Amino acid sequence: MFTLLLDAPTSGAARLRLTGHLDGSAARDVLHAAADVVRCGCSGLVLDLDGLTSWDDDAAFAVVGCTRLARWLPDGVDVVAVTAAGRGLAATAGITDGDGSDLLPDTMAACHAS
């Protein structure tokens, strides 16, 4: 079962919290929600992967798509990946800790507007 929660961690920003199993259908829902964040004029997006328990390899496109939205968000996109499942999905999506290395435990990767 997959759940997507939307909240606001700070003024002007939006956070998408993903919990459960992320499959292709759920990944499309994540992309639609992230696009809505851009359309609403938010300054930034936090994609929180820590509630995930598992994911399908082909669902990684949701994380890639969310990070590509950074160009339309002044504060960019932050990907939170502390748990093993979250780090695994981030690695599959090609997210690194900013210096090109793999994400380490207890880290957050930033994808800022360019």
Low-confidence ranges of the chain (pLDDT < 70): 97-114
Q: pTM to 2 decimals?
A: 0.84
Instruction: Give the pairing type, strands 44-55 and 2-7.
Output: unpaired
- Judge contact between 20 and 3, C-beta under 8 A: yes
- What does each C-alpha distance from 104 to 45, 91, 112, 114 come to in angstroms? 21, 10, 19, 24
Q: Which pLDDT does position 105 carry in this prediction?
A: 44
- What does each C-alpha distance from 85 to 13, 49, 55, 68 come to in angstroms? 24, 8, 8, 21
- Judge contact between 19 and 2, C-beta under 8 A: yes
Number of domains in the chain: 1
- The domain that holds 58 is classified in CATH as 3.30.750.24
Q: Which pLDDT does position 5 carry in this prediction?
A: 94
Range of the domain at 58: 2-111
Q: Which pLDDT does position 24 carry in this prediction?
A: 94
